[in-house]
Amino acid sequence: MNIATKIKNTINVTNIPNLDFASVFEVTTPLDGMARIILPSGHLAYHLTKYQEVQQVLMDKRFIRSPCNEEGGASFLPTITPRELLLNNDAPHHARLRKVVVKDFSPSGVAVLKDKVVQLTHARLDEMIKLGDAADLFSLVLDHIPSELDCYLMGIPLEDRAFYRPLTQVVQIGAREDIPELLRQFWLVYHYLMDLVTGRRASYPDGLIQRFVADRDDSTPSLTDEELVGVLLGVLIGGDQNILSVMTKVIYALLAAPTLWQSLVEDPALIPCAVEELLRLIPIGNISTFPRIASADVEGSWGKIECGSVVYADVHAANRDPSVFPDPLTIQLNRNNAKHLQFGYGMHNCMGAALARMEISTVLEILIERIPSLQLAIPAEEVPWVHGTILRRPTSLPVRWAPFR
Ligand code: HEM
């Protein structure tokens, strides 16, 4: 049976070539009935996979992040990162930093950016369609939209992308094997952003960078340059590479399983629900949440987790918990019964969730409306992928469409 027939018959996420994640940890012996894994950093961690338990750990402020970001700490990453990143902070300090981004990244905050996404998408599609009836959707369209929107949002001149984008790509999708190079590129991005924050490099006055700098004294104590860079790094990298990766995989999945694409062509009102279902099943990369350390003995339905233990709350697995999502591996575009955890949960829940949802849905709506005949131009198993330390995604999406008259 060829892959197209297999997908048509089952529409099971594991049948779409390359879409599913690969484990980055080693399963080891359970302790007191609790599953355990070995993280890439060599640490033993409890592995929680049930929806309710994952939610409970992510909600519980006794599971903390900061000790993981110390030399020799429990981690999926090959190195530590600046301690000012939101993800490296615990209560109560975390709330002081997070407050800075709440309004701009709320659903109503990102709604004002929708017209810009519409405009960017149409402009890129106009260019692509001019080429005839076949092209690379990734390099001509998708690769530009999140990054151009991110520059617009942050107030970064578009020309800067030639400098910083190759670096952020290495940071997010570079191979684990070359850690010194990965670190070198990361610190170049860090210093680039520091120059924007301190005004050594130019940015536009109405973008987030200058607004956050101007408002730094609204926080108590005032935000330092390092804290502003820590918060803005999430936007610079996540607002571009994270959205690009997931958007590309969502569109790839729909094209690799043409019956799914056709369902949306026939009923575009399904798009918001379909995006949620695909988000549920398509991980951003191989890592879901970052590990936590129990800062006290914590009892739960799992039993007792002792103070000092490392815990991995696996949202990939929770999103496939059959007690919450019946027949979990089947893609049901109209599934609408429970909230997936792909953006995490609790105080560290993804600050870019509303932005990602808005961008992915908008681009998809326009693609479905303008090019309903869109299809992959090569077999799905031949679409090339990059499998990075943090993210993984197709590197091109060759497509074709019925010529326009
Ligand atoms: C579809 C795309 C995305 C997915 C699947 C995703 C996933 C996640 C997850 C699972 C977490 C929680 C990690 C944990 O608890 O250990 C998280 C946190 C975070 N995400 Fe995203 N993300 C996406 C897009 C974005 C975007 C667009 C941005 C920025 C504009 C962003 C910035 C962040 C930041 C800064 C945090 C840490 C928040 C905190 O600690 O308060 N992400 N993301």
Whether residue 53 is predicted with pLDDT greater than 70 in this model: the reply is: yes
235 CB under 6 A from ligand 1? yes
Percent pLDDT > 70 in the chain is 97
243 CB under 6 A from ligand 1? yes
Distance in Å, CA 231 to ligand 1 centroid: 12
Nearest CA to ligand 1 atom 43: 350
Q: What is the pLDDT of residues 118-155, one digit of tens each?
A: 999 999 999 999 999 999 999 999 999 999 999 999 99
Distance in Å, CA 356 to ligand 1 centroid: 10
Whether residue 19 is predicted with pLDDT greater than 70 in this model: the reply is: yes
Whether residue 4 is predicted with pLDDT greater than 80 in this model: the reply is: no
DSSP for 39-108, please give it: -TTS-EEEEE-SHHHHHHHHH-TTEESGGGGSTT---SSSS---TTSGGG--TTHHHHHHTTTTTTTSHH
Distance in Å, CA 282 to ligand 1 centroid: 14
pLDDT band at 31 (very low <50, low <70, confident <90, very high): very high
Atom in ligand 1 nearest the alpha carbon of residue 86: 40
Distance in Å, CA 243 to ligand 1 centroid: 10
128 CB under 6 A from ligand 1? no
pLDDT of residue 181: 82
pTM: 0.96
pLDDT of residue 389: 78
Specify the pairing of strand 292-294 against strand 310-313. Answer: antiparallel
360 CB under 6 A from ligand 1? no
Distance in Å, CA 342 to ligand 1 centroid: 9
Mean pLDDT of the chain: 94
**What kind and span of H or E run contains 322?**
none
Nearest CA to ligand 1 atom 3: 242
In angstroms, the CA 33 to CA 304 distance is: 10
pLDDT of residue 171: 82
Whether residue 67 is predicted with pLDDT greater than 90 in this model: the reply is: yes
| CATH superfamily, with its number, for domain 3-400 | Cytochrome P450 (1.10.630.10)
pLDDT band at 33 (very low <50, low <70, confident <90, very high): very high
Across residues 312-326, what is the average pLDDT? 97
